[in-house]
Amino acid sequence: MKRWLIAMLAITALFTVITEPAMAAGKATQTAYTAFRQTLKLPANAPLKSLNADMNNDGVSDIVLLNTSGRVYLGVYRPDNGKLISLAKVGEGGDEAIDYHEEYTLRTIKNPLFKIGAAVVINVYTGNSAFVTVKLYALKSGKLVQAGTADGAGQNVEIADTNKDGYQEITTWEEYSYNPDTDNLSRADSIYDRVVTQWDTKQGKYVSVVYGQDGKRDDQRPKVGTLTAPQALTILANAYKLQTSFEKARSDESYTLAMASLFTFNYIFEFKQSLLYDSDGGFGKKGGYIPAYSISDDYSDLMPRFNLKQSATFKLSADKQFAALSQKVTLSGEEGTYTINAYAEFCKTKYGWKVNAAYAN
């Protein structure tokens, strides 16, 4: 009897030790939920986003709450009693009546200054577009403050330690638009640059860095100078050599990668529209694309061959952002020599000068 009683007392004590903290944590969470909804005058069943994160770096995870409609707020509550630590306004929310919708995601982010912060990811959808905003919050002297913002086009966002420094960066994408080498492209065919928002230790804040299609940082690119006639002819010679090297079928993307250093994205897009699809692999890689001039006598999509040794007429625009070159080129054919008028247009881009058009008559 005594052994049974001792055993029961031991089990009861163990059960109490195990469940009381869990019950206290559950009660604190419920208190926080109720207080958050009451403060914002939300319905009792209003959906909330939540996570546990040590926002004040005391070794204990706090209760972090976010509502997702109307006036949107972020709240941090104590884990032991559910009392408010700090509350911050995130945004006004969307209006479905005007075809505007927002979706919220809540997660943590590591930072060398405030250690653990909260990242509020807001995906916004309108009638014909979508974009994303990431707002970063941290507790500073017991008060929630916004520590940074990252913006991007489309829906994609990544929060990860991309540079392997032990902390997380935010990667979004922005449309490479309103530039001379993309201004003819529709939104559906747009080019997007990668944007990495990361903590700058020297400045003590988040900064955004844009990486171009070549993988290089825009803020570290050398200055692009003024184009000269000899330089223009050299670019044209290299461009013609590249085009004539497309002898086997290849993927759509490989054309962009191969041509991007010499041709604008406008030119590349138009060039790819004329490619033939190789469905049976008869001309090279199965399922790839190939120019008509590589397999026939149709050279309409091949740029003219300019002559480096002949004189050319060259002119820069007043703002020195565009250039035009024309040349009378003498060629040899089966019936002897003949002359064509070859024309080329260039534009200045962040990558350098590129061919935007090349044709002959």
Residues 197, 243 within the same domain:
no
Last residue of one domain, picked from the residues 167, 199, 220? 220
Residues 102, 159 within the same domain:
yes
Gyration radius from the chain CA atoms: 31
The span from the CA of 289 to the CA of 277, in Å, is 5
Residues 161, 83 within the same domain:
yes
Digit-coded pLDDT (tens) for 334-352: 777 888 899 999 999 999 9
Q: What pLDDT does 10 receive?
A: 39
pLDDT range class, residue 70, cuts 50, 70, 90: confident
pLDDT greater at residue 96 or residue 58:
58
User: What is the model's pTM?
Assistant: 0.81
Residues 233, 274 within the same domain:
yes
Mean pLDDT within 19-48 = 83
Residue 212 predicted with pLDDT over 60:
yes
Q: What pLDDT does 15 receive?
A: 30
CATH number of the domain where residue 261 is located:
3.10.450.420
Residue 313 predicted with pLDDT over 80:
yes
Residues 193, 246 within the same domain:
no
Mean pLDDT within 218-227 = 96
The span from the CA of 348 to the CA of 226, in Å, is 8
The count of structural domains within the chain is: 2
Residues 216, 239 within the same domain:
no
Residues 236, 282 within the same domain:
yes
Bridge partners of 217?
Answer: 211
Under 8 Å between Cβ of 269 and 189: yes
Residues 141, 240 within the same domain:
no
pLDDT range class, residue 1, cuts 50, 70, 90: very low
Residues 46, 106 within the same domain:
yes
Query: Domain range for residue 136?
Result: 2-220
Residues 143, 211 within the same domain:
yes
pLDDT greater at residue 294 or residue 18:
294
Tell which residue, 351, 355, 328, has the closest CA to residue 231: 355
Token reading at 164? 């392997």
Under 8 Å between Cβ of 210 and 217: yes
Last residue of one domain, picked from the residues 186, 201, 220? 220
What is the chain's mean pLDDT, rounded? Answer: 87
Last residue of one domain, picked from the residues 180, 203, 220? 220
Q: How far is CA 68 from CA 96, 120, 122, 147, 227, in A?
A: 13, 11, 10, 20, 53
Under 8 Å between Cβ of 74 and 64: yes
Digit-coded pLDDT (tens) for 112-137: 888 999 999 999 888 778 899 999 99
Token reading at 298? 């149709």
Q: What pLDDT does 341 receive?
A: 93
Residues 140, 236 within the same domain:
no
Residues 127, 211 within the same domain:
yes
